[in-house]
Amino acid sequence: MLQIKNIHKSFGQNEILKGVDISIDKGDVVVILGPSGSGKTTLLRCINFLERADEGLAIFGDDEVQLKTASKKQIHGIRQKIAFVFQNYNLFHNKTALENVTEGLIIGRKISKANADEIGKRALAKVGLSEKCSAYPSELSGGQQQRVGIARAVALNPDIILFDEPTSALDPELVGEVLTVMKNIAKEGTTMLVVTHEMSFAKDVANKVIFMDGGVVVEEGSPQDIFVNPKEERTQKFLKRVLPEDFSYYI
């Protein structure tokens, strides 16, 4: 469904992505792991044109887009198919939960307010926030704000949702509620590309795990492949730092 080929991105003299290739099929839940600075977030931002890649090709179904030279029309077409869940929620603080969810539908998709409200309420119900439609972000916990962010993505009915470390800004006790919502969405067949440090989510939900380091894909495979039988030394060293000694505990 989505292929990214040979994506490069530098900031000044600092080369962040050094020729990354990934492939995602419909219904996949792909988790990207890796140490800080490995290029994971930059990759997601380039896919959604929040950053302009220096080189690379995106193939989305029958559409091919050169990431460096994509026109505004091409970018708009890609963004119609992709939703993004941010690390720090990115909610409008002067809008209610429902208004945050419907803003993109009304402005970006030109859907009537009445229809957008219906879609928004269904999306908020899906993330367990039916009773918070009229609440402002300041009245919500971090976990609830992130669930509004997920509802906003779901409401767009995208072909794929990109998640950029969706639990990293949360207090530990709030992580579980967000992961539960993500797991439920995945069970519905939603295609997801997730940058996360939550190994349990990768183990329980992903069907493909990608390990990145130094701006390249070092290794990819099933959770079994990566957690139990990692082939590359860099993958092994990373997992030894973040997992219990017995990798099989995670499968």
When pLDDT is averaged across residues 48-52 and rounded to a whole number, the result is: 96
At 98 the pLDDT is 98
pLDDT score of 251 more than 70: no
With bands split at pLDDT 50, 70 and 90, how would you rate the model's confidence at 246?
Answer: low
At 90 the pLDDT is 92
At 138 the pLDDT is 96
Instruction: Choose among 5, 27, 29: nearest CA to 210.
Output: 29
At 248 the pLDDT is 53
Alpha helix stretches (DSSP H) within 129-196 = 142-155, 172-187
When pLDDT is averaged across residues 223-242 and rounded to a whole number, the result is: 92
At 243 the pLDDT is 81
At 219 the pLDDT is 97
Dig out the tokens for 66 from the structure: 């050169």
When pLDDT is averaged across residues 136-144 and rounded to a whole number, the result is: 96
Query: With b meaning 16 or more CB within 10 Å and e meaning fewer, what string describes 148-177?
Result: bbbbbbbbbebbbbbbbbbbeebeeebbeb
When pLDDT is averaged across residues 152-179 and rounded to a whole number, the result is: 94
pLDDT score of 18 more than 70: yes
At 6 the pLDDT is 97
Q: Give the span between the Cα atoms of 1 and 244, in whole angstroms.
A: 35
Residues pairing with 125 in the sheet: none
Task: Convert the pLDDT of each residue in 179-217 to its tens digit.
Answer: 999 999 999 999 999 999 998 899 889 999 999 999 999
At 167 the pLDDT is 94
Q: What is the mean pLDDT of the chain?
A: 93
Q: Cβ neighbours of residue 237 under 8 Å, at least 6 residues apart?
A: none
Task: Convert the pLDDT of each residue in 60-102 to its tens digit.
Answer: 888 899 999 999 999 999 989 999 999 999 999 999 999 999 9
With bands split at pLDDT 50, 70 and 90, how would you rate the model's confidence at 245?
Answer: low
With bands split at pLDDT 50, 70 and 90, how would you rate the model's confidence at 149?
Answer: very high
CA angle centred on 224, ends 8 and 177, rounded to 5° = 80
Q: In the chain, pLDDT over 70 holds for what percent of residues?
A: 97
pLDDT score of 3 more than 90: yes
Q: Cβ neighbours of residue 98 under 8 Å, at least 6 residues apart?
A: 117, 120, 121, 124, 133, 134
At 61 the pLDDT is 82
